[in-house]
Amino acid sequence: MNNIPIEIITRIIDLKKQLQKASYAYYVLDNPIMEDSVYDQLYRELLTLENQYPSLITPDSPTQRVGDKLSNQFSSIPHNIPLYSLDNAFNFAELKEWENRWQRQLNNVPEFAYVCELKIDGSAIALTYENGILVRGLTRGDGVTGEDITNNLRTIRSIPLRLQIDNPPEVLEVRGEAFLPLDEFTRINEEREKLGENLFANPRNATAGTLRQLDPNIVSARKLQFFAYNAHILPENNNLDTQEQVLKYLTEIGFLVNPNYQVFNNLQAVKKYLDYWEKNRHNLPYMTDGVVIKINSFSLQNQLGFTQKFPRWAIALKYPAEEVPTVVERIIVNVGRTGAVTPMAIMKPVQLAGTTVQRATLHNGDRVRELDIRVGDTVTIRKAGEIIPEVIEVLTELRPENTQPFQMPTHCPECNSPLVKPEAEAILRCVNTSCPAILRGNLIHWASRDAMDIRGLGEKIIISLMEYRLVNSIADLYKLTPFQLVDLDRMGEKLAQKLIQAIQESKKQPFARVLYGLGIRYVGQVNAKILAENFENIDNLAKATQEELESVYGIGGEIANAVFLWFKVPENQKLISELQTLNFSLAIDTKNKQTNQQLFNKTFVLTGTLPTLKREEAKQIIESAGGKVTSSISKKTDFVVVGEKAGSKLEKAQKLGIKTITEEDLLALVK
């Protein structure tokens, strides 16, 4: 004990407290305080530390339990057969390690099979049937003892009160998952919102809360469902040899079994199943949080047996976490192309939604103060809109001693100019138009795929150009020569020539793209197209009053004000003049606008890889012909353009009866 670092001892104590607090909130109060994925990560961290320092394992550690405390609202009854939880894997490598473990125990079995079942995100239930009649239904509880909620379970229509079999076994134990379909979850929350009640955080939380209602009428009104996935029969009545046979048997005697299970002979085949459902699970009418992989043979299962907490013959592979905990190592601020100063947490790298994440946005100073985030804090992060990682919570119970609150800067970290906070905004801004960070951001945006699409002009090269003082504005890009670029890091003569050619080619981009590339605040791709179509050239747009701008459908007061003010800045007027001198396309082709509208008011969705067109090229063809491209299919979609390896969008289009076309069909439509 004397050799164990004090910070390790403190961390273990804090982790145990936090996990016990979370378990109590979840199992006893029916009021979860953290996502399962966050609990799992903290639990694994504790388990890892305890494995490294076994002398620190105590009987009260969450790692030493099968389950957690029970509520005292229902009768507690021992399970006839313990309801074990499952060990978890979080990637295919961990799944392979699990296979290696059980194979070593059985001296490498040559022939075996796996049954893969979707892991339904609900509440585990144990049902007891005597002579075919439902006599008891228990929650999982702590795995050894559960709560008797038989009256509530009787209201679930997919749980048979009598088995559909002439000669039922004397005693049958059925295990399964009670869950709330997504449409019913939405309906319940809408109803609760109207009544001013707290909304359920997710369907799993709603299911747990519903099952433990004291009034069965409330349970009945919420229309829970139940998927059965296991059965235990007295040996003298049992002629089932595999998990697959059990699933078929459950269907025959009247249970609803999830239809998406499959049997595979090796892990590589299992991986294809995992990959498919990771992409397609969001199309299901219920929530899933992973896949359960079981050895099919009961003979092999019996040989493998159980650990203290888990069956050795089954494992749950969890989908990439939506929320995970990690530790803040530094807090920095970034200055963007609009001068916005954004605080950023630099963290211990962690896997989040399938990618490694080390940075997360803190949005602004107000959010920093609200979180009270500090270096050394354990935080929960998620991907905002499934794209940008953000910090959503600080776990203050795990905070180390002597941490200091983070203070936002008063001066720009790039140019040292005083920062300002405009009225009605939460963001600090650098207003120095010569700030290197603003120029760098403008150049990166200008060269981006949706703007001028200058291939090869990435952030690293832009930084080099600025360090060598070769570029001080967007227009300077078009004055560069191959000779100037040769000395840049890893450039060389051929790459220099290729980059110059790409820069010059970008002058052919249409007016709307140039307008978007200018980086005017609030002007995105759609607004840029609206402005280009309504004002037709840069001179008309520059002369427009704020009232004229606001009169355009789709251009609100905020956008109009930003555009109006942008054209009043002398540096921006100079840039436009230089772009005109460089022969940029700063007007739309009015003749083409009038004649090329074959797809007017038609909505398209693109899916899969097209034979010759890139996704952006197909989108440009559709939009230039008056059509609209959206990312998701709805009843308003007119056409789905299908390429190779089309995914769930093709299936959805077929279900909704939406017309699917090929790239060739699309090109024929715009001839």
Please identify every residue annotated as catalytic.
119
Burial of 454 (0-12, 13-18, 19+ CB in 10 A): buried
According to the annotation, is 55 in a ligand binding site? no
Burial of 166 (0-12, 13-18, 19+ CB in 10 A): exposed
Contacts of 24 (CB under 8 A, 6+ apart): 68, 69
According to the annotation, is 425 in a ligand binding site? no
According to the annotation, is 435 in a ligand binding site? yes
Q: CA–CA separation, 381 vs 360, rounded Å?
A: 7
Q: CA–CA separation, 357 vs 68, rounded Å?
A: 31
**Half-sphere exposure of residue 20, counting CA atoms within 13 Å on the CB side?**
13
According to the annotation, is 40 in a ligand binding site? yes
According to the annotation, is 85 in a ligand binding site? yes
Closest CA to 156 of 178, 183, 123: 178
According to the annotation, is 415 in a ligand binding site? yes
B/e letters for 488-509, b = 16+ CB within 10 Å, e = fewer, are: beebeeebbebbbebbeebeeb
DSSP-based three-state secondary structure for 485: helix
According to the annotation, is 38 in a ligand binding site? yes
According to the annotation, is 644 in a ligand binding site? no
According to the annotation, is 36 in a ligand binding site? yes
CA angle 87, 93, 96 (to 5 degrees): 70
Token pair for 75 = 């009768």
Which ranges in 253-296 belong to alpha helices (H)?
267-280
If you ran DSSP here, which 8-state letter would residue 109 be given? -
Other C-beta atoms lying within 10 Å of the C-beta of residue 217:
8
Q: CA–CA separation, 532 vs 513, rounded Å?
A: 9
Q: CA–CA separation, 499 vs 480, rounded Å?
A: 10
Beta strands in 14-143, from DSSP E residues, in sequence order: 76-78, 88-89, 114-120, 123-130, 133-139
Q: What is the largest CA-CA distance in the chain?
A: 92
- Name the pairing type of β-strands 323-335 and 378-384: antiparallel
According to the annotation, is 116 in a ligand binding site? no
According to the annotation, is 115 in a ligand binding site? no
Could you tell me the CA-to-CA distances from 25 to 45, 70, 322 in Å, in that order? 20, 11, 20
CB 633 within 8 A of CB 656: yes
- Residue 294 phi, psi dihedral angles, 5° rounding: -125, 145
Q: CA–CA separation, 91 vs 350, rounded Å?
A: 13
Q: CA–CA separation, 289 vs 217, rounded Å?
A: 29
Q: CA–CA separation, 508 vs 281, rounded Å?
A: 43
Token pair for 361 = 């946005």
According to the annotation, is 412 in a ligand binding site? yes
Binding residues for NAD(+): 36-40, 85-86, 117, 140, 177, 294, 318
Annotated binding site for Zn(2+): 412, 415, 430, 435
